[in-house]
Structure 1
Amino acid sequence: MSAVAMNQAINKTRETMEVLRVWRLGVEQVCFVLGLPETRSRKLNRLGQYEAFPDDPDIQRRAAYVRRIAEALHTSYPTNPTMGGRWLRQTHRRLGRAPLSLILEQGEDGLEQVLAELDCTFCWELNSTRPS
C-alpha cells in the first residue's frame, strides 16, 4: 500500500473512531459495531493514530456506515452538535427504539436501518441493489 493510501486509510479510521468516541461506546460495543475481532482497549486507541482498520470489506463497509450516519446527523442538526447524540439515544417512533440500541443489538443490519432512516439516498441504494 502506498504512503498516500495508508494515510487516507488512517484518516478514515481516525474519523470513524472519533464518531464512536462521541457516541460513548465501550470497547466491546465498538468491536461489535465494526465487526472487529475481540480487541483490547490499547489496540483500539492505536487505531486512527498509527494504524488503520484491517483491510476487510465488512469492517470497511461498517466503518463507512458509521461515518455516513455521523454526516447525516450533522446535516440534520448543523448548528447543534450535541443533538446527534441525543437523537441516537432517544426512542424513535419508526424504528421502535433508540437508534443506538438498534445498532448495538443488530450490528450491521442496525447500522443500515439507522442510515436508511437518516439518508433517503442510502435507502434508494439499498432498494436498487436488492432483487424484486
Structure 2
Amino acid sequence: MHNLAPEELKVITRSVMLILDNWGLESEQIVAVLGLSSGTRKRQLDKYRSSQAFPVDANLLKRLEHIIGISDALRTTFPRNQNMASGWLNTKHRRFNDQTLEIMMKEGTPGLSKIRSELDCTYAWSEN
C-alpha cells in the first residue's frame, strides 16, 4: 500500500472511514484504531470522511491495510448480514479473552494483525 498517488490515498481514506463508521465506532475509537494523535478532533475525522487524505505514514498505511483486510474477512464471514460485523467486534472473543475492538485499540498494528489473522486464514498462513 506504499507509493500511493494522492487521489488513491483519498479514496482509501474515505473507504476506511466508511468501514469504521459502519462498524459503529465512536470518534475516540476511530482515533485509537487508526493510531492518530489523541488530540485529533471530530472535525478532522469529518475532513477525512469527505475530502482530505490520511497523512502518509508507514504505520498508518499498515493499519489501513489491516482494516480493509478485516472488513473483507468480516464480509465473507457474515455474507447475509453486514450488521454482524459490529457485533463480532464488540463481543468478547474466547481466544483473546477480550473484545476484538479493544484489542485493535490497545495493541495497535499488532492487534489489528492478530484480529485479521483470526478472521482470514490465508493472511495468517502468509504471515507465518
TM-score, normalised by the number of residues in structure 2: 0.88
Distance 1:102 1:72 in 2: 17
Distance 1:39 1:47 in 2: 11
| 1:105 alignment counterpart | 106
Aligned to 1:39, the other structure's residue is in SS state coil
| 1:41 alignment counterpart | 42
| 2:67 alignment counterpart | 66
Deviation at 1:12, TM superposition (A): 0.5
| 1:13 alignment counterpart | 13
Return structure 1 stretches of 4+ with deviation > 6 angstroms. none
Where structure 1 has 5 or more consecutive residues not aligned to the other structure, the ranges are 128-132
List per-residue Cα deviations over 1:65-90 (Å, max 9, x = no partner).
11110110001111111111111111
Q: Judge conservation of contact 1:77–1:84 (CA < 8 Å) in 2.
A: yes
Change over 3 Å in CA distance of 1:6–1:48 after alignment to 2: farther
Q: Taking every aligned residue pair, what percent have the same amino acid on both sides? A: 36
Distance 2:57 2:75 in 1: 27
Which residues of 2 match residues 18-29 of structure 1 at below 5 A?
18-29=18-29
| 1:130 alignment counterpart | none
| 2:97 alignment counterpart | 96
| 1:81 alignment counterpart | 82
Deviation at 1:63, TM superposition (A): 1.1
1:6 aligned partner, one-letter code: P
How many residue pairs get matched? 124
TM-score, normalised by the number of residues in structure 1: 0.85
Distance 1:89 1:6 in 2: 33
User: How big is the alpha-carbon RMSD for the aligned residues of Structure 1 and Structure 2?
Assistant: 1.6
Higher-Rg structure is: 1
| 2:52 alignment counterpart | 51
